[in-house]
Chain A
């Protein structure tokens, strides 16, 4: 029985594609930024692997590229700037709600040899997707149903948090729209006034000019 269950475990796990299935390529010191719009106090984790595409030509084992991760908060302050080894994960918790920028770049620039070209496998998860429930189940000795219900609770709490965040954003959106509306109205009125004033100015000036030149 144990053997058959093991077979099915492996079969089911084999159905899960490789973790690092998605990648992109960058060269040199160029950084690539990803945006994440999240509410306050959200955990964001990134799982990555850096592959050096020049490695075939360069046998030097010391030149393993690392990853530099810079995180900018919605006010463009740098809240995280760290270097990481070629493979691993990084994590941070947002201090404020809004659009965060996660910028990654390879940290090595060779003094000699061809330009650095790297392939980065990256997976960014935020909120509930970033939490490892297997770990929690082990640490707190939770049963299967307890983990399931805990996860459901966390997801519903995340939905509520997102909803209240959206409510706040809608308020600022509405303010912007109303300010645009008011501006359009006032500036149109001002333009009519400016037009009339310039017309009056022109007429008066020309009239006095012609009178002065004794043409009228």
Chain B
């Protein structure tokens, strides 16, 4: 039975993938293309474009809401933690297959500002092994789903604990493609652009903050070292000169007895 289609209007209620019978020979199959939000109807003879669907929850609004709520947030885990001397701290992530993983780390303070990093796949294969690096950035694609381990090792140091700041990002790349194709109003597009720009500013600010922290720690450590070294050296000098005097005295006194 006909669904009350008027020519030229788009008042069809249809279900995804189910055929609408317009007349005995023409069937229309309803599809929704999320990339353009324009719905297409195919049949065996002609390709009919029905135009933009105007429903309460359109796909563009949906994607927009998701982006607003998630803020184009790429799932990431960032921590700043202390790795004690001769110890190893491991962090584990459950990552699906084929996802691009980005690891960034910086040693903020401690000793020579170096640390070892080892990334292992679920089958114990070592994906990356870096020794004595003070900062690094590494990207890889997961070849299998499972638990990947990221281990920071301070085994090379016997005394000094190291403070490491790291960021593990698992990029859900598919969402970016949807963002480019979706049809936003100029206002929504502007807001998305603003959001991306602000994310870039925040990322840069974060990096600078970590650099400043590292420099400040170095400077404070230099200051403390200068003070202690100066006191030590002054005491050593005085002690040396007193010892020299008494040694020479003793030297001459002994000689006179003999």
Q: Does A183 contact B (CB under 8 A)?
A: yes
Q: Which residues of B contact A202 (CB under 8 A)?
A: 241, 244-245
B245 touches A206 (CB 8 A): yes
B92 touches A22 (CB 8 A): yes
Stretch at the interface among B42-50, B73-81, B116-124: B73-81
Q: Which residues of A contact B53 (CB under 8 A)?
A: 1
**Which residue of B62, B63, B68, B220 contacts A148 across the interface (Cβ within 8 Å)?**
B68
B68 touches A151 (CB 8 A): yes
Q: Does B159 contact A (CB under 8 A)?
A: no
A191 touches B230 (CB 8 A): yes
Q: Does B254 contact A (CB under 8 A)?
A: no
B83 CB, min distance to chain A CBs, angstroms: 11
Bound-state CA distance A176–B217 (Å) is 10
Q: Does B93 contact A (CB under 8 A)?
A: yes
Q: Does B158 contact A (CB under 8 A)?
A: no
A183 CB, min distance to chain B CBs, angstroms: 5
Say whether, besides A159-B202, A198-B237, A34 and B81 are in contact (CB < 8 Å).
Answer: yes
A17 touches B75 (CB 8 A): yes
Q: Does B226 contact A (CB under 8 A)?
A: yes
Q: Which residues of B contact A215 (CB under 8 A)?
A: 252
Q: Does B205 contact A (CB under 8 A)?
A: yes
Q: Does A16 contact B (CB under 8 A)?
A: yes
B175 touches A148 (CB 8 A): no
Say whether, besides A145-B187, A187-B230, A179 and B223 are in contact (CB < 8 Å).
Answer: yes
Say whether, besides A7-B16, A209-B252, A148 and B191 are in contact (CB < 8 Å).
Answer: yes
Within 8 A of B (CB), among A155-180: 155-156, 158-159, 162-163, 166, 169-170, 172-173, 176-177, 179-180
B230 touches A12 (CB 8 A): no
**Which residue of B58, B194, B252 contacts A152 across the interface (Cβ within 8 Å)?**
B194
Bound-state CA distance A137–B66 (Å) is 13
Bound-state CA distance A24–B32 (Å) is 43
Q: Does B95 contact A (CB under 8 A)?
A: yes
Interface, chain A (partner B; CB < 8 A)? 1-5, 7-9, 12, 15-18, 21-25, 32-37, 123-124, 129, 133-134, 137, 144-145, 147-149, 151-152, 155-156, 158-159, 162-163, 166, 169-170, 172-173, 176-177, 179-180, 183-184, 187, 190-191, 194-195, 198-199, 201-202, 205-206, 209-210, 213, 215
- Ordered nearest first, which 8 A-B pairs have the shortest CB separation? A198-B241, A187-B230, A22-B77, A180-B223, A4-B16, A148-B68, A35-B80, A148-B191
